[in-house]
Amino acid sequence: MLSLLHHPNLVNLIGYCAEGDQRLLVYEYMSQGSLEDHLHYLTSDQKPLDWNTRMNIAVGAAQGLEYLHCGASPPVIYRDLKSSNILLGEGFIPKLSDFGFAKFGPSGDKSYVSTRVMGTHGYCAPEYLASGKLTTKSDIFSFGVVLLELITGRKAFDESRGREERFLVDWVRPFRDEMNITSLADPLLRVLALDYFNTHPYDSNETKRDNPEGLENNGSPNKTTRMLDVDSERERAVAEAKMWGESWRGKKGPVG
């Protein structure tokens, strides 16, 4: 399967060896190890990943996943997206690896693939675990868990924690209001990520200047930018309408 797939965010299969009972797959060398290593097993001489690097890794992993779902023919369901399967090269460029659990997606009028449940504890979508019905949405759930790992620095499943905190997805559920949201951030980030967003609001004009052609690999980032531009225009129109309304009420005077 991997020999048919080619994308900047998938590891390249260089070759294989099958001699006697020996089996060997040869991939390109990924010098920075895995995302799991940098999130959960830092050595004393390693620095934690900063916010921008984490988000770039998330974007690259998402682009690799989008290629599997939308660019590959037939589409491929990865089925084992997790931090240990996201390998990092020079500049922390992420690439998805280990396609041992991957399956070709449904064909014809079928909306899912029936299969024996496979995957890793903490990353599997609950509906897939319950039914064995595999869809691309199963991968999306796993990506969400990886995104939570990047934000919180916690493992998807940690048996050393209390029962209510073992599964990362269960642990984050109570954090729904603004008062609690900062508690989600990885302590190694010192909450600098959230401070950055508070002091650097989104500017659609800045996005256009920085990315005149859109991001590489596929058209989705351009599409996202256009959507953000539309949202920005909508917000501007609402603000202008509020200003007009206040001005109109001021001219008309108090009611009653």
User: Virtual CA dihedral for 185, 189, 193, 195, nearest 10 degrees?
Assistant: 100
Q: Tokens 């014809």, residue?
A: 108
Q: What is the pLDDT of residue 183?
A: 79
Please name the residues in contact with 42: beta carbons below 8 A apart, sequence gap of 6 or more: 48
Catalytic positions, written as ranges: 80
Q: What is the pLDDT of residue 214?
A: 46
Q: Give pLDDT tens digits for 193-202.
A: 556 655 665 5
Q: Is residue 15 classed as helix, strand or coil in its secondary structure?
A: strand
**Phi/psi of residue 55, each to 5°?**
-70, -35
Percentage of the chain modeled with pLDDT above 70 = 72
CB 157 within 8 A of CB 122: yes
> pTM, whole model, 2 decimals?
0.73
Q: What is the pLDDT of residue 148?
A: 95
Architecture per CATH, domain 2-190, reads as Orthogonal Bundle (1.10)
**Per-domain boundaries in the chain:** 2-190, 201-251
10-14, 108-112, 127-131, 189-193: least confident range: 189-193
One DSSP character per residue, 180-203 reads: HHGGGS-GGGTTHHHHHHHHS---
Helix (H) or strand (E) holding 103: strand 103-104
**Phi/psi of residue 169, each to 5°?**
-60, -40
Helices (H), the chain: 35-40, 51-66, 126-131, 136-152, 168-172, 178-181, 192-199, 204-210, 220-252
Average model confidence (pLDDT) for the chain?
81
Q: Tokens 């799991």, residue?
A: 36
Amino acid at 172: V
Q: What is the pLDDT of residue 33?
A: 96
Q: Give pLDDT tens digits for 47-95.
A: 999 988 999 999 999 999 999 999 998 899 999 999 999 999 999 999 9
Top mean-pLDDT range of 139-148, 220-229, 236-245? 139-148
